[in-house]
Amino acid sequence: MNYDWKLMSELQQEEDAGVGVRVSARIRWKPPSGSRVKVNVDAGVWEGLGSSVGAVVRRADGSACAAMTWMVDDRWAPNIAEAKALLFGLQMPVDLGYKDVVMESDCLGLINAVSSRERGSSTFHLILDDVYHVSSLFESIRWSFVRREGNRVAHELAHCMPWAIGKQVWSSTFPECIVALLNSDLPSNES
């Protein structure tokens, strides 16, 4: 039921969009330009299991340089899960030494919130404060919304089974659940 609520909320936000982010009809993942890396993030909330986040960092040639999942036994609200996915995904290019980053999510409300530097005192806004702090470590950062079809790798990471509590990071050999998706997103495989 939470997923349905989240989807309906995001669809309504798409209709009302305009603040801080451009909404496009793009459904394929698109590589970043130049020396930028793109980090795609997503989250999942599982009835009876907990919450999970997934993130993947890719270069301009489309190749992945890192991927991460983090699974916990707490059930977060969907907006909290998406914000935590953004925060943990944002830490990856910091750890890898990148300075020019595009952060991409399929959660339009989240992208609008960070693009407008929304403030508040809720748990969601406290996570955003951490996002703003980490994002200040980059020379350049862009926030981008992409439809679910363009965020398939991060989505699959956040929903990958078997469920394993804790954080997992890959930098060369990636989990089987995303290998075909990574390959299909390569620019050489565009149709």
Instruction: Specify which residues 32 forms β-bridges with.
Output: none
Q: 84: part of which helix (H) or strand (E)?
A: helix 78-96
| Edge-first strand listing for the sheet containing 64-72 | 140-145, 100-105, 37-46, 50-58, 64-72, 166-170
Q: Where are the beta strands (DSSP E) in 100-165?
A: 100-105, 140-145
Is the pLDDT reported for residue 183 higher than 90? yes
Q: Tell me the per-residue pLDDT of 137-174, one tens digit each, with 9 for 90 and over.
A: 999 999 999 999 999 999 999 998 777 899 999 998 99
Ranges 1-5, 60-64, 127-131, 168-172: which has the least confidence: 1-5
Instruction: Specify which residues 64 forms β-bridges with.
Output: 58
Q: Indicate the pairing of strand 100-105 with strand 37-46.
A: parallel
Task: List Cβ neighbours of 1 (8 Å cut-off, separation of 6 or more).
Answer: none
Reported as a pLDDT band with limits 50, 70 and 90, residue 28 is confident
Reported as a pLDDT band with limits 50, 70 and 90, residue 190 is low
The overall average pLDDT reported for the chain is 88
Is the pLDDT reported for residue 129 higher than 60? yes
Query: What does R_g of the chain's alpha carbons equal in angstroms?
Result: 15
Walk me through the domains of the chain, giving residue ranges and CATH numbers.
2-186 (3.30.420.10)
Reported as a pLDDT band with limits 50, 70 and 90, residue 4 is very low
Average of pLDDT values for 9-21? 43
pTM of the model: 0.86
